[in-house]
Amino acid sequence: MPMTFTLAAQPPADVGVLGVPVYAGLDLPTGAGAELDAGWLAERHFEAKVGETVVLPADDGSTIIAVGVGKRGEVTAETLRRAAAALVRAAWHDRAAATTLLAAGPTGLDSAAAAQAVAEGAALASYRFTRYKGDPKPCRLESLAVVGRGDAARRGLARGARVAEAVSMARDLVNEPAGAMTPSRLAAVAAEAVEASGGALELTVWDEVDVVNEGLGGLAGVAQGSDEPLRLIRLSYVPDDARGHLALVGKGITFDSGGLSIKTADGMETMKTDMSGAAAVLATMAALPDLAPHVAVTAIVPATENMPGGRAVKPGDVLKIRNGKTVEVLNTDAEGRLVLADGLSLAVEEGVDAVIDLATLTGACIVALGPNVAGLMGNDEGWTGQVRAAADRAGEPVWPLPLPDDYRKLIDSDVADVKNISSGRYGGALTAGLFLKEFVGDVPWAHLDIAGPARSGEDDGYLRKGGTGYGVRTLVELVASFEKPLA
């Protein structure tokens, strides 16, 4: 069950666990709600680093958890997320807790954003994927009373809880074994979201025959080697007062063996996560009816496995994409860009004001930016600026990368319009972005290469080992704040 959040003017008398923020230097914010002995904390080497905790049993049987929030002038929304996550970890075996973390919110952060951050951090820290565990040991913390006042803070808590629920949904989709989370199952998840939306979402699903008939040669080609049937999923959210139309495209490779350009055994171990872009897009769409943004959103998810079957696409084959361009396939392990080419072409046909795609696309992006930062590319500086600003507010790190015109020749093909890998050894994330750019025309487009942050190799703060749900918070924030890019 998702954790519940309430806003309280003071810690409830029947809650025996209180999380109290402490600044570096063992200084307490005004309104922290408890007297703490700085000497006692210092004896235990507590420095109040962000996310550091120490438990103080009280004489009356209650428990105070001191939670570090770092230096007084450096607290951000991300600080509050990590602090709330640390509190949940410390109170893991309790049923209920309260916290005065909002007292540490910086002056420049409004109460709604601060409360949202606390709810997100707490709820996401409690996440566990336990479906296949015989003894799951889930988090026992069911409710968190957040001390604060005002309708804005109350709305922030509700929004944070809903966003965290969407992130958890994306994590579940990614963490499922590939044998269970097939393209057909992804389509069923979309149908479940439509049913839960009460008519706010609409769904269209294309099967293999539809995809071939509609000219989606990239998706059809990648799917040839798999016994699992492909799916093209289209979800739409159209409020009456929409101020613009945005398209979300998510790479939905539910398992990537590499195809005939087969990966190593080690390289396949985490390839059930190759549909992380699709998971982020589907989870975001599921949340929109509750969050009610004033923007029309169309989501397109091309979903398939990439397998080395007898009918699999071969190096040297040529595929024709929806927009009419042909692609020479020289490496079948560069398949994500092939299905995205069809997805982006369809998005452009929708007449949208802007497009963003999310994909675990290249190992080169991880080499460039490490495992925690997504690469941001696009064809319109104003639009990529909107995306970066939304990601910054959401607390999901991105970094802009260029799409140099003189690198375009590296994907020239001798027999087709383009080839799916570069003729050079370097800049693989950039040439992949340049490939995708071929399928968006003049529509403002942004590409997030999430190969690194889509998966965590360890528990860290509010992240859990496995799928992170990266991108959901950015997409929710982007939709909420969307402005049509200037022509």
Catalytic residues: 263, 337
Contacts with 334 (C-beta within 8 Å, 6 or more apart), sequence order: 261, 420, 421, 432
Q: Using CA atoms, how far apart are residues 143 and 122, in angstroms rounded to an integer?
A: 10
The SS3 of residue 250 is strand
The two beta strands, 63-68 and 53-57, are antiparallel
Angle at 32 between CA 29 and CA 34, to 5 degrees: 125
The SS3 of residue 248 is strand
The two beta strands, 445-449 and 17-22, are unpaired
- Residue showing tokens 């340049």: 434
Q: Using CA atoms, how far apart are residues 350 and 245, in angstroms rounded to an integer?
A: 9
Largest Cα–Cα distance in the chain? Answer: 79
Angle at 203 between CA 199 and CA 208, to 5 degrees: 160
Task: Of 276, 223, 269, give the one whose Cα is nearest residue 252.
Answer: 276
What are phi and psi for residue 303, nearest 5 degrees? Answer: -125, 130
The two beta strands, 143-147 and 231-237, are unpaired
Q: Using CA atoms, how far apart are residues 436 and 447, in angstroms rounded to an integer?
A: 8
Task: Of 378, 374, 357, 377, give the one whose Cα is nearest residue 365.
Answer: 374
Q: Using CA atoms, how far apart are residues 204 and 233, in angstroms rounded to an integer?
A: 6
By CB atoms closer than 10 A (0-12, 13-18, 19+), residue 119 is buried
Task: Of 258, 101, 310, 285, give the one whose Cα is nearest residue 202.
Answer: 285
Q: How far is CA 448 from CA 67, 243, 267, 474, in A?
A: 34, 24, 22, 11
Q: How far is CA 358 from CA 183, 328, 343, 452, in A?
A: 17, 23, 11, 12
Cβ–Cβ < 8 Å for 355, 486: no
By CB atoms closer than 10 A (0-12, 13-18, 19+), residue 63 is middle
